C-alpha cells in the first residue's frame, strides 16, 4: 500500500490564532485571602456588636466596658484563627492551635464579663456549675431586664454572650477550606441566636429597624467577602431593596394575632392552657414550673393580683368557702358584713384601672385586684361578683385569648394613715372571721370537719 505525503503548509508568522471573546466586560479581580479576612473581620464585628447590644439590655445598668472587652476578645480570636488559615501550617497543627485559641478566648471573655478567674480551675468547676444552675433557675422567676441583687443570676445572663460570640468566632474563621461555607453559616446562626433570644426575652423598641439592620449584615456576611466591583454593588442594592420592601409587610402584621404563637405552642396538644387549684394544701410544689405565661396585666401601679379568697380552714388546708358547706356558715355571714359598692365613695383616689390578657390559663375565677367594681368590668359576660371581693366567671371559664378590663378599689394608705388606724379590728364586722376550727385529732380526714373551735 502506497502512501502519499502531503506538503505541510506553514502558518503566517504574524497572524494571531483563535481568541476567546468576552462579552461581559473586563475580568474582576478575586479578593486576596488577607483582604477577604479583613472584610470578614469587619462584618463579624458589626454582627457581633449588634447582637451584644441586644443581649446587654437583659440586665439593668449593663457593664458596657466589660461587654466591649468581650467583643474585642471574640474579634481578636477570629483574627488569629483566620491568620492560621493563610499561614501554610499543616491542617492538624492549624486545627489544634485554632481550638486552643478558641478555648483561651472563651475563658478570657468570661472573666472580662465578671466571672471570677479562680472558678475556671478544674477543682472549682462544681462551684461554677452550681452557681450557673442557680442562675438559670432564677431567670424563670424574675422579670427582664433584671435589676435585682442576685449576683449569680445576673452573671449567668451575661455569660451567655461571651460563650456564643467566641463559638461564632471559632466557626467563622476555622482553618478548613472545604467546609468554609457551612461553618460561616453556622457562625451566623450562633450570632442570630444570641440576638433572637435577647429580642424574645425583652422586645426592643423599633423592632423593624433592628431587624432590617440584622438582615443587611447577614446578607453581607454571606456574600460580600467573595464579591468585588459591580457584583458587590448589585448584591448590596438587592439586600437593601429587599429590606425596604419587607418593612411595610412586616409592619402590617398584627402582633396580637401572631402567625405562630410560640408561647402557647405544644408538640402534642392543641390546647396548652394550664388549670390550677387555688386552695392551699401545704404539700410539695409538684406541678410543672416552666415559666409559662398565664396572664399579662397592664396597670399604672404594681398591685397584688388575686383570684380567690381562702376563708375556710379545716385543720389541714385553707380553702374557699362554698355555699352548702355547713362548716363555712360563719364565713358567709362575715362576707355579708364586708363593705362593697360604698367603698369608692370613701376614697376615689384608690380606684385603679387594669387590663388583662389571658394566655395559658383556665379558671372559673376572674383574676383581679382589691375589690373589683362590677359596673366597671368590660370584656367578659356572665360574671358574678362575690362579697369577698372576687369575681366568678359563669358559663365557660377564662381561656387563652380572653381580654378584659376593670376598675378596682385597691387601698394604698400612707405610713401616717396606717399609724392612725385602730389597734384592733371592729368586732361587729370581723368577729366571725377570727375563728379557727381544728379537728379532734391529726388522724382525722381533711374533709371530716372540725369538732371544736378556738
Rounded distance between C-alpha atoms, residue 421 and residue 270, angstroms: 52
Rounded distance between C-alpha atoms, residue 109 and residue 65, angstroms: 12
Give the pLDDT confidence score for residue 104 in this predicted structure: 96
Mean pLDDT of 94-118: 94
* Bridge-based pairing state of the strands 403-409 and 371-372: antiparallel
Is pLDDT above 60 for 453? no
Domain ranges of the chain: 33-204, 275-281+290-453
Give the pLDDT confidence score for residue 27 in this predicted structure: 47
Is pLDDT above 50 for 317? yes
Give the pLDDT confidence score for residue 24 in this predicted structure: 46
Residues 392 and 320 sit within 8 Å (Cβ to Cβ)? no
Give the pLDDT confidence score for residue 255 in this predicted structure: 59
SS3 360: coil
H-only helix segments in 88-147: 91-113, 125-139
Rounded distance between C-alpha atoms, residue 394 and residue 385, angstroms: 10
Q: What is the CA radius of gyration of the chain?
A: 34
Q: How confident is the model at residue 452 (pLDDT cuts 50, 70, 90)?
A: very low
18-22, 316-320, 366-370, 383-387: lowest mean pLDDT where? Answer: 18-22
Give the pLDDT confidence score for residue 268 in this predicted structure: 42
* Contacts (Cβ under 8 Å, ≥6 apart) of 58: 144, 145, 146, 157, 198, 201, 202
Of 231, 239, 276, the C-alpha closest to 398 is: 276
Is pLDDT above 70 for 29? no
Number of helical H runs and strand E runs in the chain: 12, 15
Q: Is the dihedral of CA 135, 142, 200, 213 positive or negative?
A: negative
Rounded distance between C-alpha atoms, residue 374 and residue 323, angstroms: 21
* Contacts (Cβ under 8 Å, ≥6 apart) of 205: none
H helix or E strand, kind and range, residue 45: helix 33-56
131-140, 166-175, 302-311, 396-405: lowest mean pLDDT where? Answer: 131-140
- What is the percent of the chain with per-residue pLDDT over 70, rounded to a whole number? 72
Give the pLDDT confidence score for residue 97 in this predicted structure: 94
Which of 224-233, 265-274, 363-372 tops mean pLDDT? Answer: 363-372
114-123, 254-263, 350-359: lowest mean pLDDT where? Answer: 254-263
- What is the percent of the chain with per-residue pLDDT over 90, rounded to a whole number? 24
In the numeric block, the cell 394566655 is attached to 359
Give the pLDDT confidence score for residue 257 in this predicted structure: 60
Give the pLDDT confidence score for residue 448 in this predicted structure: 45
What 8-state DSSP symbol labels residue 27? P
Mean pLDDT of 403-423: 88
Number of other CB atoms surrounding residue 69 within 10 Å: 17
Give the pLDDT confidence score for residue 178 in this predicted structure: 79
Is pLDDT above 90 for 246? no
pLDDT, tens digit, for every residue of 52-95? 999 999 998 899 999 999 999 999 999 999 998 888 888 889 99
Mean pLDDT of 183-189: 92
Name the average pLDDT for the chain: 78
CA 412 to chain centre: 32
Mean pLDDT of 82-111: 91
Residue 154 in grid coordinates: 445576673
- Asked whether the whole model's pTM tops 0.85, one would answer no
Residue 23 in grid coordinates: 462579552
Is pLDDT above 70 for 259? no
Is pLDDT above 60 for 275? no
* Contacts (Cβ under 8 Å, ≥6 apart) of 88: none
Q: How confident is the model at residue 209 (pLDDT cuts 50, 70, 90)?
A: confident
Give the pLDDT confidence score for residue 190 in this predicted structure: 94
Residue 203 in grid coordinates: 422586645
Amino acid at each position: 500500500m502506497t502512501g502519499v505525503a502531503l506538503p505541510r503548509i506553514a502558518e503566517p508568522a504574524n497572524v494571531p490564532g483563535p481568541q476567546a471573546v468576552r462579552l461581559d466586560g473586563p475580568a474582576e479581580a478575586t479578593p486576596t485571602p488577607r483582604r477577604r479576612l479583613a472584610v470578614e473581620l469587619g462584618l463579624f464585628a458589626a454582627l457581633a456588636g449588634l447582637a451584644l447590644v441586644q443581649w446587654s439590655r437583659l440586665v439593668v445598668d449593663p457593664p458596657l466596658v466589660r461587654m466591649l472587652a468581650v467583643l474585642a476578645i471574640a474579634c481578636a480570636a477570629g483574627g488569629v484563627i483566620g491568620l492560621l488559615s493563610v499561614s501554610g501550617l499543616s491542617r492538624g497543627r492549624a486545627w489544634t492551635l485554632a481550638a486552643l485559641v478558641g478555648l483561651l478566648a472563651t475563658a478570657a471573655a468570661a472573666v472580662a464579663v465578671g466571672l471570677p478567674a479562680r472558678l475556671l480551675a478544674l477543682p472549682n468547676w462544681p462551684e461554677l456549675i452550681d452557681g450557673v444552675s442557680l442562675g438559670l433557675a432564677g431567670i424563670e422567676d424574675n422579670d427582664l431586664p433584671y435589676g435585682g441583687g442576685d449576683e449569680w443570676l445576673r452573671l449567668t445572663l451575661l455569660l451567655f454572650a461571651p460563650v456564643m460570640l467566641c463559638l461564632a468566632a471559632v466557626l467563622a474563621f476555622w482553618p478548613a477550606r472545604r467546609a468554609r461555607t457551612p461553618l460561616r453559616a453556622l457562625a451566623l446562626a450562633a450570632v442570630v441566636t444570641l440576638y433572637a433570644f435577647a429580642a424574645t426575652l425583652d422586645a426592643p423598641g423599633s423592632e423593624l429597624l433592628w431587624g432590617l439592620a440584622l438582615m443587611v449584615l447577614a446578607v453581607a456576611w454571606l456574600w460580600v467577602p467573595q464579591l468585588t466591583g459591580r457584583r458587590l454593588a448589585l448584591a448590596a442594592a438587592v439586600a437593601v431593596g429587599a429590606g425596604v420592601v419587607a418593612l411595610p409587610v412586616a409592619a402590617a402584621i398584627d402582633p396580637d394575632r401572631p402567625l405562630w404563637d410560640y408561647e402557647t405552642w405544644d408538640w402534642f396538644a392543641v390546647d396548652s392552657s394550664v388549670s390550677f387549684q387555688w386552695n392551699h394544701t401545704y404539700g410539695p410544689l409538684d406541678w410543672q414550673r416552666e415559666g409559662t405565661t398565664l396572664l399579662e396585666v397592664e396597670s399604672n401601679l404594681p398591685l397584688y393580683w388575686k383570684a380567690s379568697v381562702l376563708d375556710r380552714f379545716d385543720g389541714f388546708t385553707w380553702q374557699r368557702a362554698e355555699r352548702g358547706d355547713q362548716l363555712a356558715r360563719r364565713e358567709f355571714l362575715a362576707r355579708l358584713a364586708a363593705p362593697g359598692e360604698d367603698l369608692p365613695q370613701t376614697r376615689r383616689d384608690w380606684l385603679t384601672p387594669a387590663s388583662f390578657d389571658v394566655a395559658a390559663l383556665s379558671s372559673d375565677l376572674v383574676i383581679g385586684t382589691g375589690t373589683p367594681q362590677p359596673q366597671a368590668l368590660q370584656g367578659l359576660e356572665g360574671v358574678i361578683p362575690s362579697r369577698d371581693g372576687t369575681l366568678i366567671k359563669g358559663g365557660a371559664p377564662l381561656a387563652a385569648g380572653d381580654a378584659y378590663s376593670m376598675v378596682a378599689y385597691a387601698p394604698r394608705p400612707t405610713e401616717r394613715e396606717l399609724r392612725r388606724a385602730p389597734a384592733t379590728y371592729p368586732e361587729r364586722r370581723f368577729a366571725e372571721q377570727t375563728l379557727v376550727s381544728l379537728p379532734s385529732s391529726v388522724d382525722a380526714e381533711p374533709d371530716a370537719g372540725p369538732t371544736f373551735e378556738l
